[in-house]
Amino acid sequence: MRRAARARVRWNGQQILGRARQGALRGLLLGAEHLLAEPRKEVPITEGTLG
């Protein structure tokens, strides 16, 4: 009879949660930067008063 293979798993829930939050914040930042950059391609910003 064969013995079943065993595996031991260590669950680092707090570390995983922290990294997931970091990834989410990075994604939001990259998305916001993209949303700011795209309109500037068609409407360049110039300094001075509008007239």
> Looking at per-residue confidence, does 50 or 49 come out higher?
49
| First and final C-alpha spacing in the chain | 88
Q: Which residue has the tokens 């669950």?
A: 11
- State the Cα angle at 40 between 36 and 42, rounded to 5°: 135
51: pLDDT strictly greater than 70: no
Q: Which of 9, 25, 28 minimizes the C-alpha distance to 17?
A: 25
pTM over 0.75? The answer is no
Structure confidence at residue 50 as a pLDDT band (50, 70, 90): low
CA atoms within 13 A on the CB side of 41: 5
